[in-house]
């Protein structure tokens, strides 16, 4: 009995399960596991955050499409294209340093920047590797070597000189005669006409006069800085550049022009030897060239010498010119008097000469006061024909006065045809 009941119990249980199975609803998709549900929520939150970030960074960017959640974990974890940062993150071109950031060296420095060993540095823009003051001869602009001039002819010599040092040449730099024939050049030199930076060049000129005697003449020149330090050209920057001419005999016309060549003379007063040109107001006396003088009775535009003796009762001013050989027919010509607005002027003009033996000889003289008139001189030099002499122009003070401002207007030796 028990055996039969034991067999019926399993069969009854199996029948019960079959009945229940038959009464269940239709087949449906399996529910996601807890892990799958978590992955889906994470992916949705991640996508929402990326969308919000993209909208903040680039407001003009299109709205990102909403990703449809899926139950496949591998697809949800794949890299998303919207993770790329907006293009505005790229650095702007203006971040590049500007070219003007580089500092330029000062043209007035006295030593190369950044140099402690003494080795010169080249200057940007074409300067050079020479010392502070260094020059290079480029060419003769005027008066090539050996140019012929008649006696007493005036001319202008111009050199083209380049600054190959690292210091700027200011207008206090000068052309200076260092040796040879002066040919009427100023004894204190000629200032440069403009500032010359490293790498630039200057056309430097000096007005000269052909000597009164035929022959070959040469003057050697250099530059000097504002402190008087001389420098020149060549590999050692110490060589001179020069002017070289040949003087021929003048057949006629002005054969000795005293005013333009006045610095070829030696000037002195009772108290001192004087520079040429002189310094206006110097109580030791002075001589200055004037091109448009105001005379006591008129204006003029002829070359003139302002001659002022030293400030003493017996003061004088004399200029001794280079040797000159007088020819038949030669004449001395000039106008003399007092300059305008010097009412107490009282002076005597003298034409003297040193003969071949070196003795000073008088030739002629003229007394002048401030009276509104001037004296014209035109005298023959017949007694000196074929003699080589050194003419002397002198002005003598007759009273002690600062008004003793005399002039020689266009003094010359004239040779008729």
**Distances in Å between the alpha carbon of 395 and those of 54, 195, 272, 308, 364?**
101, 39, 15, 8, 12
Cα separation, 328 vs 330, whole angstroms: 6
Cα separation, 412 vs 258, whole angstroms: 6
Burial of 231 (C-beta count, 10 Å sphere; 0-12/13-18/19+): buried
pLDDT bracket for residue 16 (50, 70, 90) = low
- For the chain, which domains are there? 37-90 (no CATH), 135-250 (2.60.40.10), 255-415 (2.60.120.200)
- pLDDT of residue 41 exceeding 90, the answer is no
Cβ neighbors of 163 (< 8 A, separation 6 or more) are: 127, 128, 134, 135, 169, 196, 197, 198, 199, 200, 201, 202
> Where is 4: in which H helix or E strand?
helix 2-22
Average pLDDT for 243-257: 88
pTM: 0.59
Cα separation, 350 vs 400, whole angstroms: 18
What is the distance of C-alpha 369 from the center of its chain? Answer: 48
Residue that is written with structure tokens 């330090």 in the block: 229
Residue that is written with structure tokens 């001039």 in the block: 149
pLDDT score recorded for residue 129: 60
Average pLDDT for 95-118: 35
pLDDT score recorded for residue 167: 96
pLDDT score recorded for residue 370: 98
As beta bridge partners, residue 363 has none
- pLDDT of residue 357 exceeding 80, the answer is yes
Average pLDDT for 322-350: 96
pLDDT score recorded for residue 203: 95
Rg of the chain taking only CA atoms, in angstroms: 52
> Shortest CA distance to 285 belongs to which of 273, 269, 306?
269
């Amino acid at each position: 009995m028990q055996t039969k009941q034991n067999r019926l119990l399993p069969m009854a249980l199996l029948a019960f399960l079959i009945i229940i199975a038959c009464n269940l609803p239709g087949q449906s998709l399996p529910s996601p596991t807890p892990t799958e549900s978590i992955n889906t929520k994470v992916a949705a939150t991640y996508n929402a955050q990326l969308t919000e970030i993209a909208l903040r960074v680039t407001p003009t960017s299109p709205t990102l499409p909403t990703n449809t959640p899926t139950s496949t974990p591998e697809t949800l974890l794949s890299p998303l294209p919207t993770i790329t940062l907006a293009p505005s993150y790229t650095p702007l071109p203006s971040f590049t340093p500007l070219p003007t950031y580089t500092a330029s060296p000062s043209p007035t420095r006295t030593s190369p920047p950044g140099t402690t060993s003494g080795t010169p540095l080249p200057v940007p823009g074409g300067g050079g590797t020479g010392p502070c003051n260094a020059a290079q001869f480029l060419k003769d602009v005027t008066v090539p070597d050996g140019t012929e001039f008649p006696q007493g002819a005036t001319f202008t010599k111009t050199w083209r000189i380049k600054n190959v040092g690292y210091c700027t040449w200011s207008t206090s730099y000068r052309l200076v005669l260092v040796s040879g024939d002066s040919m009427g050049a100023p004894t204190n030199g000629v200032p440069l006409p403009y500032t010359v930076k490293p790498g630039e060049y200057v056309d430097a000129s000096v007005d000269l006069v052909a000597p009164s005697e035929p022959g070959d003449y040469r003057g050697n020149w250099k530059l000097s800085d504002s402190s008087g330090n001389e420098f020149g050209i060549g590999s050692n920057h110490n060589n001179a550049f020069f002017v070289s001419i040949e003087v021929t005999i003048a057949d006629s016309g002005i054969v000795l022009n005293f005013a333009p060549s006045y610095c070829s003379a030696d000037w002195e007063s009772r108290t001192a030897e004087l520079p040429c040109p002189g310094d206006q107001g110097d109580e030791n006396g002075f001589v200055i060239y004037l091109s448009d003088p105001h005379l006591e009775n008129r204006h003029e535009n002829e070359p003139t010498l302002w001659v002022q003796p030293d400030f003493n009762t017996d003061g004088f001013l004399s200029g001794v010119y280079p040797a000159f050989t007088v020819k038949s027919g030669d004449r001395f010509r000039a106008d003399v008097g007092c300059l305008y607005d010097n009412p107490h002027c009282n002076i005597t003009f003298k034409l003297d000469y040193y003969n071949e033996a070196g003795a000073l000889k008088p030739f002629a003289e003229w007394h002048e006061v401030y009276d509104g008139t001037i004296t014209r001189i035109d005298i023959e030099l017949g007694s000196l024909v074929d003699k080589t002499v050194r003419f002397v122009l002198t002005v003598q003070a007759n009273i002690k006065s600062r008004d003793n401002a005399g002039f020689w207007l266009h003094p010359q030796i004239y040779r008729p045809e």
